[in-house]
Amino acid sequence: MGSWGHTWGTTPTERQLGFPCDRLIAHPDAVYHRGVSVQASPQLIFRWLCQLRVAPYSYDWIDNRGRQSPRQLIAGLEHLEIGQDVMTIFELADFSPDSHLTIRSKRNSGALNIFGDLAGSYVIVQQTPNACRLLVKLLVRYPSGLRGWLMRRLLPWGDLVMMRRQLLNLKSLAEQGTFDAE
């Protein structure tokens, strides 16, 4: 897989930044970077990141059992606590309001056996009062054996397809929205 598949939407400078997930998995097998520009405030973008607690915002027919991810902010989801479920297979590992949301594979999840140990940070980098970069870094430690061999080949492409759709959906919703749910 070419570097584009591992670095979609990001610059070399952005890939050199420190991310909160870096402390969660030492010596990952793979690192993926994703990024989009969003014409919205950090506060609004963060509120949409909090929505990941209830839906993946990618291709709902694949990873949300056909249910549409909410298109309105749900009040209360911004009240975060370490350990909360995120997108079903992850748990909240760290966060800083209006700055980042960091997740890790749930220890008791079957997904851990399939995909391996995953840790990722969604980081908001403010450029102007209403323009930001939404950057994601995903660290991967593949499972052993045949599953690991398959994931080394399939996960980079699968993640690129799903996370690209997720980031573009979150971008679109943030650029349309206000704090209607408050």
Of the chain, the percentage scoring pLDDT greater than 70 comes to 89
How do beta strands 90-96 and 100-105 pair?
antiparallel
Strand, coil or helix: 75? coil
- pLDDT at position 89 over 90: no
**What is the pTM (predicted TM-score) of this model?**
0.91
Beta strands in 22-167, from DSSP E residues, in sequence order = 30-38, 85-86, 90-96, 100-105, 117-128, 131-141
Highest CATH level, class, for 3-12+21-176: alpha beta
At 2, the pLDDT band (50, 70, 90 cuts) reads: very low
Distance CA 167, CA 49 (A): 10
Nearest CA-CA partner of 70 in 85, 83, 52: 52
**From the CB of residue 133, how many other CB atoms can be counted at a distance below 10 Å?**
18
Domain ranges of the chain: 3-12+21-176
pLDDT digits (tens, 9 = 90+) for 156-169: 888 888 899 999 99
Do residues 143 and 114 lie in contact, with contact meaning Cβ atoms separated by under 8 Å? yes
pLDDT digits (tens, 9 = 90+) for 97-109: 999 999 999 987 7
Q: Is the dihedral of CA 22, 168, 143, 7 positive or negative?
A: negative
- pLDDT at position 62 over 70: no
